[in-house]
Amino acid sequence: MNAGESDEPQQVPVDVLPPLPKDGSPPPASDTSSVPPPPFAGLRTFYHPASGVVILGIDFLVFGLEAVSGFLDLPIMCALAFFTTLPLVWVIQSRWAKDENSTAFGKAFLGAFLAGLPFSIAGTMLGAAVLALSGLPHHPVEMVKKLAESQGNPARK
């Protein structure tokens, strides 16, 4: 043995994990408080509100504006609306709404089909259905108030 070492045992710090809850659920993570939840995390509707905005927004941009519809033929406009809406709604539904991939794809396909119809659905029963299924209010001022409330107080659940 070296002259600097002694035969006495030294104390070693031991990290102990907290006990698991009795119901078998994992313990709450302590570091998740710094990550903000996705918008409208507590709202449970068929479509996430952002999906409703995408469906109605792309439909309005492609078919609601008369200036844009003069540039391309109708089948191309329908395909453009469909193939733009499909991936956007799928990503929103799978990441923010936490849907399974098959469910998110089915909802995205339905939304893309509605956005790709060869007319604007904003003033029809289909547009009202998208508003209702996504939990969007019928008035834009109410939507801004909901967004401000959910983003202004992150501790609110």
Going by pLDDT thresholds of 50, 70 and 90, the confidence category of residue 157 is very low
Residue 21 lies in a domain: no
pLDDT digits (tens, 9 = 90+) for 99-151: 999 999 999 999 999 999 988 898 889 988 898 888 877 666 766 676 677 66
Residue 118 lies in a domain: yes
For the ranges 15-29, 61-75, 86-100, the one whose mean pLDDT is highest: 86-100
How far, in Å, CA of 99 to CA of 89, rounded? 11
Residue 28 lies in a domain: no
Domain boundaries, position 113 = 46-152
Residue 51 lies in a domain: yes
Cα dihedral 98, 101, 107, 108 in deg (nearest 10): 110
Look at the chain and report how many structural domains it folds into: 1
Going by pLDDT thresholds of 50, 70 and 90, the confidence category of residue 156 is very low
The one-letter amino acid code at 6 reads S
SS3 content of the chain, % helix, strand, coil (to 5): 55, 0, 45
